[in-house]
Amino acid sequence: MLYVLLLVLAATGSYAEPLLIGAFNIQIFGQSKMDKPDVVDILIKIVERYDILMIQEIRDSAGTALPELVDRVNAVSPIDYDYVVSPRTGRSSSKEQYGYIFRTAKTKVINEYQYPDNNDVFEREPYTVQFERTSPGNQQTFSYISIHAKPDDAVAEINMLDDVYDTVAKMYGEDALIGGDYNADCSYVCKSCWDDIDMWLDPRFTWLIPSSADTTVSSTDCAYDRLVVAGTQMTANSGPGSVFRFDLEYNLTYEETKDVSDHYPVEFSLY
């Protein structure tokens, strides 16, 4: 099917180089992690893999860790990267941010939006960035909605994401990606719970990461991290999702991997 899609796009002249898009929960990402050279070297390699990488669990009140990471990437990469970051959010003193790192030659940011969450459903309110593809032959725009769900409230938060999408779609159009650490498996979302999750049942949404995936570094087998697309163009042009096992790619030990994060990135190609 993907081969046929590429042939059709090439024949119509609408084919552009695909975007590799990811979501990565970098466990407690802050200056202490940036002070570990071996960890930073791996993070640089991971960032360079993607055209857009959304990072969760930025815990850095000084606001220096993400800019420093992007500076370190740009110091070694022939490709220029930029970033945007959300406000700090969370009910406790341990607040977090969402960050997006992107290749400036292929995409640009045209809008940002923080969901207001007036009913206080979310621990960390979803943050949306609207991107425009700038590659020749494809000026498509789409929204990337980030989520890092509180484990104990995962069902309620996931069930609210369709409302977030509806709000974003009215502002920026129907084409969107909703990605991040949903905590959408194992003890946090039981098997029968899926019957009550609107976004799981709504045919407008396509889940690219299956429940059979394992996105965790530890011995657990849980598909916590997900990528969900919606909108005619976004759905039609999205390839299958996968988990990036950076431990296997870079030949890391378990301890070296855990030093980077307790999650693997999830990813897909947008054609």
Q: What is the largest CA-CA distance in the chain?
A: 54
At how many degrees (to 10) do helices 37-49 and 65-76 cross? 70
Q: Are 221 and 231 in contact (CB under 8 A)?
A: no
For 135, phi then psi, to 5°, come to -65, 145
Interior angle at CA 130, CA 238 and CA 199, nearest 5:
55
Q: Within 13 A of 14's CA, how many CA atoms are on the CB side?
A: 10
Query: 192: exposed, middle or buried (C-beta count within 10 Å: 0-12, 13-18, 19+)?
Result: exposed
CA neighbor of 124 nearest in space, from 166, 175, 183 = 183
Of 96, 123, 157, 174, the catalytic one is: 96
| CA 152 to chain CA centroid, nearest Å | 21
In sequence order, what E strands does the chain have?
A: 19-29, 52-58, 81-85, 97-103, 107-114, 127-133, 141-148, 176-181, 205-207, 225-230, 242-243, 266-270
To the query of whether residue 96 is one of the catalytic residues in this protein, the response is yes
State the Cα torsion 206-230-232-139 to the nearest 10°.
-130
User: Please, what's the b/e burial string for 114-125 (b: 16 or more CB within 10 A of its CB; e: otherwise)?
Assistant: ebebeeebbbbb
The CA distance from 223 to 241, in Å, is 12
From the candidates 57, 123, 125, 148, give the one annotated as an active-site residue. 148
Q: CB count, 10 Å around CB of 88?
A: 14
The residues annotated as belonging to the active site are 96, 148
